[in-house]
Structure 1
Amino acid sequence: MKKLLFTIALFVMTITMNAQEKDGITLTVVIENVLNNEGHVLSALHNEATFMKAEGLETRHNKAEAGELILTFENVQPGKYAFSVLHDANDNNSMDFQNNGMPMEDYAMSGNSMPMGPPTFNDAKFTVENEDMQLTLRF
């Protein structure tokens, strides 16, 4: 009898763990046109509350390598998000600007909007539903 109860408990735990693993989608972000191997590529997945702030919901700090960078985010819940990425070539952990306010380092944002001035969450947002998805951003 103990063996049967143990087997049932193990089965229920396995089902629960598998259900938790499938509790969201996989978001793949392809960053094209990394121009060189200098510095790092800083990226972040944001919701409206974290957008354009220091930390996103999930952040990445990848060594820059010329070409293409592919990032994978697991178990992303349905909702509205934005994605930002910066090639921090001089490794100072911030975006550098020219005297006229134009960025000196490559960056990209989801939404493909090119507003004059900083983007808003509405400019960059995308919707996660129930299927895995891929975003492609280009420096």
Structure 2
Amino acid sequence: MSINSQKINVNSNKLTQVILTSILCSSLFTSSVFAADISFEIEGVNTQPSKIYAQLFNSQDSYSKGEAFSATYLQAKQGINKVIFTNIPVGQYAIRFFQDENNNGTLDTNLFGMPSEGYGFSNNAKPNYGPVGYQDAAFTVTEQQDPVINQTHIIY
């Protein structure tokens, strides 16, 4: 009976060492994850008292589904408006935004489905007989960039 309890104690000590080593290694790897800030500058915004809503997407699929990786808004001002997304990991991203000129929280459209409020995309991507695709608006965040700066001009 004493032999079995010694084996259990030895196995228990080895298991504890393995668990502690795993925790230590995982904390070393997770602490070195790179994150950058994205500064998105929107030019040509009008003086209409309103908000600018911006969404950051991290894949074609999330862009198509409208499932933003991150989203924010700011009070619109005339001239250049700057949207900041912080602690963004390395990867490919696209941004789309609109100026909510009537403050109803949605991008309004006309009878033909065209936006009737200011809008735009990263990389200054422009629609061409349909919505802007993810690849047209996509840009890459790398470990060498901090902050990432992307500029566009609002479309009215």
Q: Distance in 2 between matches of 1:102 and 1:78?
A: 33
**Aligned Cα root-mean-square deviation (Å):** 2.2
Q: 1:50 aligns with which of 19, 41, 62?
A: 62
| Alignment match, 1:24 | 35
Structure (1/2) with the larger helix percentage: 2
TM-superposed deviation, 1:50:
2.3
Counting only pairs closer than 5 Å after superposition, residues 64-103 of structure 1 correspond to structure 2 as 64-103=76-115
- In 1, Cα distance between the equivalents of 2:69 and 2:90? 14
Out of 114, 121, 138, which is 2:134 matched to? 121
- Percent of paired sites with the same residue: 27
Q: Partner letter of residue 112 of structure 1?
A: N
Contact 1:80 1:125 in 2 (8 A): yes
The offset of 1:112, in angstroms, is: 2.9
C-alpha offsets along residues 69-111 of structure 1, whole Å, 9 cap, x if unaligned? 1122222111110011100111222211122232111111013
Q: 1:20 to 1:138 in 2, by over 3 A?
A: farther
**Structure (1 or 2) with the larger CA radius of gyration:** 2
Normalized against structure 1, the TM-score is what? Answer: 0.76
In structure 1, runs of 5+ residues without a counterpart are 1-15
Deviating above 6 A after TM superposition, structure 1's stretches of 4 or more consecutive aligned residues are: none
Q: Which runs of 5+ in 2 are unaligned?
A: 1-26
123-132 or 113-122, which deviates more: 113-122
> What residue in structure 2 maps to residue 3 of structure 1?
none
C-alpha deviation, 1:39, in angstroms: 2.0
Instruction: Tell me the secondary structure at the aligned position of residue 50 of structure 1.
Output: helix
Is 2:120 the partner of 1:105? Answer: no
The change in CA–CA distance for 1:78 and 1:136 in structure 2 (over 3 A counts) is same
Moved more, 82-91 or 70-79: 70-79
- Give me the TM-score of the superposition, normalised by structure 2: 0.68
Contact 1:37 1:63 (8 Å CA) reproduced: no
CA drift at 1:60: 0.9
